[in-house]
Amino acid sequence: REPLLSLGQRASGQPVWHDWSGEVFADFARVDVARLRAYVDLSDRGVEVRTGEGALRAWAQVERGQVVAVTADLALQNVEAQLGPQLPALALENVQGRLAVQWNAEGFGVTTEDLRFRTREGETWPGGRLLVKHVARSTSQVPSVEVSAEQLDLAALADIAERVPLPAVVRSWLQRLQPAGRMDGFTARWQGPATASADAVEGAIDWTQGSYQARGRVQDLALAGEPSGQMSLSGRFPLPGRPGITGATVDFDLNQSGGRARITVADGSIELPDIFEEARIPLQRLAADASWQLQGDRIEAQLDNMTLANADAEGTAQVKWQTSDPATSPSRSRFPGVIDLTAQLTRADGTRVHRYLPLTVDAEARRYVREAVLAGRASTVDFRIQGDMDRLPFKNAEAPSEFRISAQLGGVDFDYLPTSFQPADAAPWPGLRGFSGQLVLDHLKLNISGGTSGVVGATGVRLSEGAVELDDLARDTTLTVRTRAQGPASAMLGFVQSSPLKTLTGEALAQTTVGGNADLGMTLKLPLFDLNAFTVAGTVAFDGNDLKFHPAAPLLARTRGTLAFTEQGFVVLGGNTRVFGGDMKFEGGLRPNPQGVARLQFRGQGVASAEGLRDGGLGAASSLFRNASGSAAYTAQLGFRGGVPELQVVSTLQGMALNLPAPLGKTADAVLPLRVDTAVLSVDGDVAATDRVALELGSALAPLVSLRYERDITEAVPRVLRGSVAVGLE
């Protein structure tokens, strides 16, 4: 080297390299790159190679003593370089391949040939050919940037973005998007406007101006979504953020006016922040043709031929989106925009419906759907959503809008009031099993109609004409359940005995038994924000049922009539039955008395036969009719206290003959008043402890027979405590 240096000096001793032009070549089998700075100093270009060792072959193009281009074949390790005066150092474990750089007053260019490297953080650059060319603005030309690459590793590019000379806007987007994937066959060109804006900083480039075009293919693409950080005008929910994606392959071709892309996803996901509670939606597959147009501030985008499938659902869709008109949009902004979506699913998991309810739906309503649907499926699910997204789901929207989801449900296990919505000690409302029906979500109103199902704990009962309604999913939601049921009356009674209706009836029907079939109609309203304010109304139609309110009460055979009930109690209307060997008409039910205490009472009138009275459950009074014949009219009253029946029977016994010694005997035409009365005397807690049985035969002022006794009824077999018998002789 020394002879070369001496030849490069004038007689004055000054070097002549400053006006020399040509090519310098160097080949080092092993070199310390840091020491080359003494010979090739690029610090005036903002480039400084601080460390590195290995093999290096380089060609430098010199014009009038200035290095204007360098081509290098590299095989180096432990390289640390600073590629710009304000950039952090780039540290590489190894780097190999060819790198060529050219620069002049008009710009610079970078070319790589199979350049591969690995950063100390573990990111690997894939190699291939890369070309970057930048032309700066001058009096004779507009600024431009050209990029072409056989391969680009987006994760590696994002990792080193802060340490390479990229435009600030590009580095910002790489940080926010956190891209990953491999880009193949990428070409892009940006050309700035013919003149710079008046407020442009000298030397700065406004990348938002000018024209651009790009095309390429990205495999295994991943882009992070980002919340909008903005709330709706109501302040109840966030505005939709920027979507993200993973596992995608995208072929794209775009320019400043718009573009198109073919998108496919395999075992990936899409991310929709600020739209769903679970922003990330896993996808087994997705395919769509995307296109978009840019016209000033107006943006239009469209997804056509869209098919998707995951563990939750499978179907097709078409989506259109455009920016809003700030003059008419409630957001007073171009965003979040106007959506027009049409979709159809051919398969959907009912237990996952909740995860696709947008955040505009009240959190408690979303929790209700999540906990109410335990199993089931939906087929032929249709979506139609159209309108300004700031109004989603468009309740009371002033502008025309649609928000409708309909689905055919099948095999759904549905707890219309999940236990988590009830007090810890409350009896559960029996859920529906195997439910089928039509679901419609219209704006903020959810309806399920035409439902059929079974009922938990009611074997053989089948619900029909079932309807479920949630009137306002945004707030203060009230659940309404309407249904009809046919099946064994005993199973329907079991519904009452195991549900909160048991408490409403004061457990008066706890020991009731019923046979045959019955028809039930019921409407239940449950404000999810105040469950104590629930209401229920319904009817049970009896058509020849055998009914026994208590083991000690008479059997009501072949009962017909209607039982109407509410949360306040129930009444029997038009009751007809057979008891004491004859027909009886009766009415009554559970009604509160003036003190607010509910009492179960029935009143009736009918005709009893002597045989029926002998076997009709009148206790000691039954023995009076062992020698009786015929039948007689009577009135009766049946009530309950402490879970024990209280019975009053009054009759003239006209029409019934008594073959008894005088003065108790009588002909059928004779009148002989009879009164039978059983009453509870004391109650221990909610259980009857003692009762009184009274029988009078004859006039009330001078009865022929008066029988009274008190019993302890706390044991299985009642025990007589005291009593009296009086017989009057004429």
Sign of the Cα pseudo-torsion (227, 230, 236, 241, in order):
negative
Asked whether residue 277 carries a pLDDT value surpassing 50, the answer given is yes
Kind plus residue range of the DSSP H or E element containing 370: helix 363-372
CB burial of 340-361 (b: ≥16 within 10 Å; e: otherwise) equals: ebbbebeebbbbbbbebbbbbb
* Encoded amino acid at 437, one letter: G
Would you say residue 491 has pLDDT above 90? no
Q: Which helix (H) or strand (E) holds 2?
A: helix 2-7
For 545-601, the DSSP string reads EEEESSTTSPPEEEEEEEEEEETTEEEEEEEEEEETTEEEEEEEEEEE-TTS-EEEE
Q: Which residues contact 398 (CB under 8 A, 6 or more apart)?
A: none
pLDDT over threshold 60, residue 10: no
In the prediction, which pLDDT does 5 show? 40
Closest CA to 378 of 331, 426, 440, 323: 440
CA angle 676, 679, 682 (to 5 degrees): 160
Residue showing tokens 């004409």:
465
Q: What is d(CA 57, CA 76) in angstroms, rounded to the nearest whole number?
A: 11
Residue 361 has pLDDT above 80, yes or no: no
pLDDT in the model for residue 7: 40
β-bridge mates for residue 135, sequence order: 107, 144
Residue of 203 and 28 predicted with greater confidence = 28
SS3 497: helix
Check if the beta carbon of residue 260 is closer than 8 Å to that of residue 289.
yes
What is the DSSP track for 232-298? Answer: -TTSSSBPP-B-EEEEEEEEEEEETTEEEEEEEEEEEEEE-TTTSSS-EEEEEEEEEEEEEEEETTE
Tokens of 609: 């036969």
What is the identity of the amino acid at 341? L
pLDDT, one tens digit per residue, over 493-537 is: 887 777 777 666 656 677 788 999 999 898 989 887 887 888 889
Among 349, 414, 340, residue whose Cα is nearest residue 379: 349
- Please give the pLDDT value at position 578: 94
The whole-angstrom separation of Cα 696 and Cα 679 is 15
For residue range 171-220, what is the model confidence (pLDDT) as tens digits?
Answer: 888 899 999 999 999 999 989 887 765 555 445 566 567 899 999 999 99
Whole-angstrom distance, CA of residue 272 vs CA of residue 238: 12
Task: Encode pLDDT of 150-181 as tens digits.
Answer: 998 999 888 888 888 777 777 888 899 999 99
pLDDT band for 669, please (50, 70, 90 cuts).
very high
What is the 3-state secondary structure of 19-50?
HCCEEEEEEEEEEEHHHHHHCCCCHHHCCEEE
pLDDT for position 294: 92
Helix, strand, coil distribution of the chain in percent, nearest 5: 10, 55, 30
CA 190 – CA 213 distance, rounded (Å): 7
Closest C-alpha among 118, 104, 15 to residue 66: 104
CB atoms within 10 A of CB 662: 9
pLDDT digits (tens, 9 = 90+) for 67-101: 889 999 999 999 998 888 888 899 999 999 999 99
- CB 186 within 8 Å of CB 149: yes
* Per-residue confidence (pLDDT) for residue 16, from 0 to 100: 61
Residue 424's pLDDT is 81
pLDDT one-digit tens code per residue, 297-322: 899 999 999 999 999 999 999 999 99
Q: Give the 3-state secondary structure of residue 367.
A: helix
User: Residues 525, 429: contact at Cβ < 8 Å?
Assistant: no
Tell me if residue 90 falls in helix, strand or coil.
strand
Please check the confidence at residue 625 and state whether its pLDDT lies above 90.
Answer: no
Mean pLDDT for 352-378 is 86
- Return the minimum-mean-pLDDT range out of 536-540, 641-645, 678-682, 717-721: 641-645
Q: Does the pLDDT of residue 592 top 70, yes or no?
A: no
Higher pLDDT, 48 or 255: 255
Q: By mean pLDDT, which of 371-385, 387-401, 624-638, 664-678 is the weakest?
A: 387-401
Q: Spell out the long-range contacts of 232-238 with Cβ–Cβ below 8 A and sequence spacing 24 or more.
A: 232/331, 232/360, 232/390, 233/330, 233/331, 233/390, 236/360, 236/474, 237/274, 237/358, 237/359, 237/360, 238/274, 238/359
* pLDDT value at 268 more than 80: yes
Output the pLDDT for position 149.
92
- pLDDT, residue 67, reads 84
Pairing verdict, β 432-442 and 402-414: antiparallel
Identify any residues that bridge with 102 across adjacent strands, giving them in sequence order: 69, 109
**pLDDT tens-digit series, residues 423-450:** 888 788 888 899 999 989 888 888 989 8
DSSP assignments along 161-224, one per residue = GGGS---HHHHHHHHHH--EEEEEEEEEEEE--SS--TTPPTT---TTSSEEEEEEEEEEEEE-
Four-CA torsion 98, 104, 107, 108, nearest 10 degrees: 0
Task: Enter the DSSP assignment of 360.
Answer: T
> Within 10 Å of residue 667's Cβ, how many Cβ atoms?
12
Mean model confidence pLDDT for the chain: 85
Residue 478, pLDDT above cutoff 50: yes
What is residue 141's DSSP assignment?
Answer: B
Q: State how far the Cα of 373 lies from the Cα of 317, in Å rounded to an integer.
A: 25
